[in-house]
Amino acid sequence: MNFFEQLKKVVALYEEILEQPHRTELARELRDEEDLFMLLCFSEMVGIPNPAFYYTLELYPLLLERFHQWHLRLGLETSPLDGVRCC
């Protein structure tokens, strides 16, 4: 290995060490955003008016795969929706 390849490895290791504490924070923020998005999509079924309900209907088949993990993460043991049985 020449000097530049070793220097690149050292810089990559340094950047990884600096980014490590922020990865969990970023993952938490992404999870919170996903939780909010799921709540907005399924809010009409829960009883909260959603002005974009018509546009979110197309997303239901894609979101049902993650619905079980979402309601468990929110602390709900069973599905809060009558029409969606995932447990």
Q: What is the domain count for the chain?
A: 1
Residue 23 is part of which domain span? 3-73
DSSP string computed for 9-75:
HHHHHHHHHHHHHHHHHHHHHHHHHHHHHHHHHHHHHHT---TTHHHHGGGHHHHHHHHHHHHHHTT
Query: Is there a domain that residue 78 lies in?
Result: no
For 13-70, the pLDDT digits (tens) are: 999 888 888 888 888 999 999 888 888 887 877 778 888 777 877 887 788 778 778 8
Query: Is there a domain that residue 80 lies in?
Result: no
Query: Is there a domain that residue 82 lies in?
Result: no
Query: Is there a domain that residue 18 lies in?
Result: yes
- pLDDT for the residue numbered 33: 92
- pLDDT for the residue numbered 85: 67
Q: Model's pTM, two decimal places?
A: 0.59
Query: Is there a domain that residue 87 lies in?
Result: no
